[in-house]
Amino acid sequence: MRPPFTTRLREPRPRRPAARTAARRSFTTACVALLALLAACAQPAAAPRAPDAAKAPSAPPAGAAAAGATPPQAAAASTQPAALQPLKFVISTISASIAPTVVAKEAGFTARQGLDVDLVIARSGSEAMAALLSQDAPLGSIGGNAIINASASGADLVAVAVQQVRFTYQVMSDPSLQTFADLRGKRLGVADVGGSSDLATQYALDKFGLRRGEDVAVVALGSQNERLGGLQAGAVAAAMLQAPFTASAREAGYKTLFNFANEDYEAPITTVVTNRAYLRDHPDVVRRYVTALVDAIHYFKTERAGTLAIVGRFLGLDDPAALDEIYSESAGPVLLEAPLPRAATFASAIKDIAAHNENVARLNPNDLVDDRFVRELMDSGYIDRLYGR
């Protein structure tokens, strides 16, 4: 039986003004992508075919094939067993930041580690959190601030990898707005309260001296699909979006009002998280998944054509501009070669969130991370050899 949060994705498209023909086309593209993701959750995806057979995703990365590339504690797991171990992995939202997670599965890196990963797409961080806390999905990709808020309420969660520490959101709005400050007296659409888009919103509000609620109404709309729909329907004046939905918004005539990529702000944006009970009982499963993720990050950074073929097929997306935006947003420095979870990164987020949630202030950032699996890959030289260093 599918968990409730997957069925909640199946909602009718928001209504748009009839005059916006371009908006209708871009929103259709976004819906096709979302339906493709739902299909991917409902049944195993077909093995991807890379454009260049010599660089097929199923082949190990060059660095991984090098002598001694396998870390000592992952050596036994590197040989794929006859029967793969099922592993449900929940993703909090559709965005460019999940691309390495998709590559890890679709390019065969998780299978090489003996894992049959089922990717489940939730609508928001809170729905993904529900799956993690119930252990319906023992591993997942969510924002670090969701981990912080849940931990402040008693959840026993831990990040075992952090692959992105910079926001890649863009505030998309009607061209009539000139700066983020022009949102005074208007409504801004985010995923949900307490999620990554909400944390980014608070950063921007503070930067421009605006007060939540009094100056700007922050509205939880759900998935990026729903946020774009809310923008097109006029329910909000602006929306927090990421690729590929930013490309769809621009095609529909909206502009980038504020780009977080230009900000010097570090936070645990995209993490791999589990609960400590599962980590205690299944450390080898977590170790194998982290190894597959590191391999996928290397492939993502070094095989552009193969990566775009995988992501495009998974999303059901053939728009070159949208695919290029996904790659440009997530393949550069924002994606860490060694996704080491650092207590200092969580400490900065805790400081910001504590201003609005006093229970967060008592958290120790060291309790929210377990870096042993990425550390093993670093100390053994595995990651350096992947990149030919």
pLDDT tens-place string over residues 162-193? 998 888 889 999 999 999 999 999 999 998 87
Contacts of 18 (CB under 8 A, 6+ apart): none
Residue 357 sits at φ, ψ, to 5 deg, of -145, 100
Q: What is the pLDDT of residue 368?
A: 97
User: What are the boundaries of each domain within the chain?
Assistant: 16-167+266-386, 170-262
Same fold, 16-167+266-386 and 170-262: yes
Per-residue confidence (pLDDT) for residue 97, from 0 to 100: 79
pLDDT of residue 82: 58
Q: Evaluate whether the domain defined by 170-262 bears CATH number 3.40.190.10.
A: yes
Please report which helix (H) or strand (E) contains residue 173, including its range. strand 170-173
Query: Which of the residues in the chain have pLDDT under 70?
Result: 1-82, 124
Which helix (H) or strand (E) segment holds residue 116: the answer is: strand 115-121
Q: Round to whole Å and give the CA distance between 244 and 29.
A: 10
CATH 3.90.1150.10 fits 16-167+266-386, yes or no: no
User: pLDDT tens across 33-86, in order?
Assistant: 433 433 343 333 333 333 333 333 333 333 343 333 444 444 444 555 558 999
Report whether 188 contacts 230 (CB < 8 A): no
